[in-house]
Amino acid sequence: MELNPVLLHEWLSLSAARYAMKDAIVCGRDRWSYQKLNAYADCFADALIDLGVRRQDRVAVLLGNCAETVACLFGTLKAGATFVLLESNTKVRRLRHVLEDSGAAVIVTRASQARVLGEALEDWDANLKCVWVGGCPTAAVAGGIPGVSWEAL
């Protein structure tokens, strides 16, 4: 039997074509079909490219256990980038270290994490962009971090 190698994100596209309306993710009250997950992943991949993300760039994901995290992981792979998964309770010092060490070009997080992110990026001189899930915080809360809303993607 000959096996054709398929990349992880290609499995999602194949599954979306084959099992379009079947549940891919059930997380709390959220139910995402393979079709919906693939559509969000494609949209996120396009948004990353529009934000200037290139092949092998790092995309940090600070969302916790939710459907959007899975869409971000697949979208990051579809854009040719590498994801850096962070726990939602990551502390300021650890967050700063991971962002510096990874050289992340983009971070995806919630407005509720804006204070922690702002503190982690105090005196930051790198060009980090942010995708805010659940709405953008005010500029003062976000510490002036440039970003876009997930909902606007």
What mean pLDDT is predicted for residues 91-102?
96
Domain membership flag for residue 60: yes
Q: Considering the domain boundaries, does residue 1 fall inside one?
A: no
Q: Does the residue 61 lie in any domain?
A: yes
Q: Does 80 map to a domain?
A: yes
Q: How many domains does the chain have?
A: 1
Domain span holding position 139: 8-152
How large is the average pLDDT for residues 91-96?
96
- Residue 144: other Cβ atoms inside 10 A: 11
How confident is the model at residue 134, as a pLDDT? 85
Full-model pTM: 0.89
CATH number at residue 47: 3.40.50.980
Nearest to 150 by CA among 32, 68, 74: 68
Least confident of 3-7, 86-90, 143-147: 143-147
Q: Kindly state whether residue 2 falls inside one of the protein's structural domains.
A: no
Residue 145, pLDDT > 80, answer no
Task: Give 8-45 pLDDT, tens digit per residue.
Answer: 788 999 899 999 999 999 999 999 999 999 999 999 99
Give, in degrees to the nearest 5, the angle at Cα 144 between 70 and 153: 35
